[in-house]
Amino acid sequence: MRVDLRVYAIVYLEVAGGHELPDLCRMLAAGGVTLVQLRDKLSDTRVMVERARAIKAALGHVPLLINDRVDVALAIGCEGVHIGWDDMAPADARRLLGPDAIIGLTINSPERADATDLDLIDYAGIGGIYGTTSKVTKNKPIGNAGMARVIEALHRRKPGFLTCGIAGINAVNAAPVIEAGADGVSVISALSLAPDPRTATAELRQVVDTALAKRGRA
């Protein structure tokens, strides 16, 4: 499945700006978000399934991925999952979800890019690009130069393989991420904590679309 990574929102309760997640996702969809991932590390499975199902309904045509939880993705029939390097192996996720699901993987080094079977996943989330307060991480930001090296490693093996930059990205600093080779940006706080998430999404979408057009990818 071809994935549109241009404005890829990650949503979760702890960083929702006081909104219920379905309401937040409805605003993001109205602003032009192209992909949404639900991250939920705390809820019981039944609660997470109910929330994910409500988010899927709120998003309409916008694809929804679940972070880590293949079981939840299967339960609600959403488009797929995003998995981290230490989560379920891509081969197992693909076996469970089938050939048409979207599966994304976090990759933060050329070595991991070289070690990944790119036929099993649809895109790589690369980062963290900038510093972020949305997620606790022990790794230092790799910056756009570090991301470019990962993209180069991926494209050496599979030209045109889709990538997005992750962490600390907003409308002010998104263009350099695209200029460095990413196909989109993955964002949390810049959208979820914005006074008007719909407007913030539209502004970020405009920045990304303009940068992609300059690169000849629009």
Looking at the chain, the whole-number percentage of residues with pLDDT higher than 90 is 90
The model's pLDDT over 21-43, given as tens digits with 9 standing for 90+, comes to 999 999 999 999 999 999 999 99
**103: which 2 tokens?**
């599966």
Neighbours of 1 (CB within 10 A): 11
pLDDT score at 216: 82
Distance CA 78, CA 73 (A): 5
Q: Which CATH architecture has domain 7-214?
A: Alpha-Beta Barrel (3.20)
Q: Which of 51, 63, 46, 58 is nearest to 12 (CA)?
A: 51
Confidence of residue 88 (pLDDT cuts 50, 70, 90): very high
Rounded Cα gap, residues 89 and 49, in angstroms: 22
HSE-CB for 14 with a 13 A CA cutoff: 9
* 169-184: pLDDT as tens digits: 999 999 999 999 999 9
Instruction: Give me the pLDDT at residue 218, please.
Output: 53
Contact 128, 167 (CB under 8 A): yes
Locate the domains of the chain by residue range: 7-214
